[in-house]
Amino acid sequence: MSSRSPLITHMFTADPSAHVFEGRVFIYPSHDLDKDMEENDNGDQYAMEDYHVFSQPDPLGPVTDHGQVLHLRDVPWASQQLWAPDAAYRNGRYYLYFPARDKQGVFRIGVATSERPEGPFRAEPEPIPGSLSIDPCVFADRDGEFYLYFGGVWGGQLQCWQTGEFRADGKMPPDDQPALLPKVAKLSADMLTFVAPPQDVVIVDDKGEKLKAGDITRRYFEGPWMHQHNGTYYLSYSTGDAHTLVYATADNPLGPFTFRGTILTPVLGWTTHHSIVEHNGRWWLYYHDASLSGGISYKRSVKVQELFYEADGSIRPMTP
């Protein structure tokens, strides 16, 4: 089953992170601006300034807009571009993780907190120390530990950190070299800092070899999502310029992850960004396309489709 129409039609939304809190599905997307801009590979057309939170009684049910929960002007350290967020619950509080450029134009990841899943959220005065790049995904493991996955290339600046320091002139690796990898760090008990510096999330092929930078149908680009099913850890992500959602699996949350296949073929529009959530025993893929705007890549809309596993644990490929 799926929602053939966008879930949200009164504004442009993208990058949906879906979670079940208090029995409802809460969606934490980015909010695309409804104005015309020039497009470039740096992503300047994605000029988002605030976040709204949405919820549903179930993935095919009506959507409630809980209003604006955080604005750029309320984030002391940020200068622009509130891109794809994610959320978590721990110790009686809700945590919103979000990327933004700092005053020097470098992407960092911030945290905002609330007593309610629908917000509003109050931002911490500084970003997470040691954070970088974009697309945070927070994952709660079975042992109670929480991990933050993140990273995106091109406009997401992951290529600028290959030396351990930010270099604005950082380049992508040559096609015959290993691809850049997403990062992961364990979160502290208060959910506001990293326990240790971020490390690479290694993704390999079925021979144990790291995926190459030129392997655009399989290598990592942006939008990591982590979930667990029947004891297996699933890392799914966007391949970027190949426009697909793919996945890899491992027996622990730090990897290495072995590439398994495609989840979703290309959508209308340029970017693909998603989340996977279980609700009442059924699994769902939340993603976005540009159908609401007629194909304008930076005016996107959230959709949902049911996701199915095969007997061997593989995910059944889908078309949008």
Distance CA 238, CA 222 (A): 5
> Contact, 46 vs 81, CB < 8 A?
yes
Distance CA 256, CA 139 (A): 16
Distance CA 6, CA 22 (A): 24
Distance CA 43, CA 278 (A): 31
Whether 222 is catalytic is yes
Take residue 91 and report the two structure tokens written for it.
């110790």
Q: Which of 15, 32, 118, 289 is catalytic?
A: 15
Q: How far is CA 72 from CA 68, 80, 142, in A?
A: 11, 7, 34
Whether 141 is catalytic is no
Burial of 275 (0-12, 13-18, 19+ CB in 10 A): buried
Take residue 222 and report the two structure tokens written for it.
């942006």
Q: How far is CA 204 from CA 11, 248, 261, in A?
A: 39, 8, 12
Distance CA 213, CA 298 (A): 25
Distance CA 180, CA 200 (A): 9
Burial of 62 (0-12, 13-18, 19+ CB in 10 A): exposed
Helices and strands (H and E) in the chain: how many: 0, 21
> Contact, 139 vs 227, CB < 8 A?
yes
Q: Which of 86, 135, 222, 289 is catalytic?
A: 222
Helix (H, G, I), strand (E, B) or coil at 72: helix
* CA atoms 230, 200, 257, 288: torsion sign: positive
Residues with catalytic function = 15, 222
